Amino acid sequence: MSTLAIEPFNPAAHRDHMPEVPSPSPARHVLVVSSGKFRLEFLSQAQLEAAIGYFRSPSGSTRVSAAGGDHWEFQPWQSRLPVGINNSHNRNRMLSALLSARELAREHLP
């Protein structure tokens, strides 16, 4: 079972989990998608679409070029997902929840 919610952005409770995907400078709302024990937060429609694209494709490489930057910059958002979310059963459930969140994102996120 999945739940969808729009929450006002609170810097103490929310953060940008996908800094490499465009999001609004002063975030106003956060889309929260929960499926089972997993909870994902999105600040923009672009972030939601990136997640949908990731969960739609077979588990691919998350390797990034190592040209410059700090160690955290080499770790893409996909590798920071919660442990177990890429299990085929969980992956399909999360994709379904993300797809159902599209309309809510169109209404509330830039």
Q: What is the pLDDT of residues 37-88, one digit of tens each?
A: 999 999 999 999 999 999 998 765 455 554 555 555 567 888 888 999 988 8
Q: Specify burial of residue 98 (Cβ count, 10 A radius: 0-12, 13-18, 19+).
A: buried
Whole-prediction pTM: 0.82
Q: Is 62 exposed, middle or buried (0-12, 13-18, 19+ CB in 10 A)?
A: middle
* Matching residue, tokens 């998350």: 62
Determine which helix (DSSP H) or strand (DSSP E) holds 78, and give its type and residue range: none
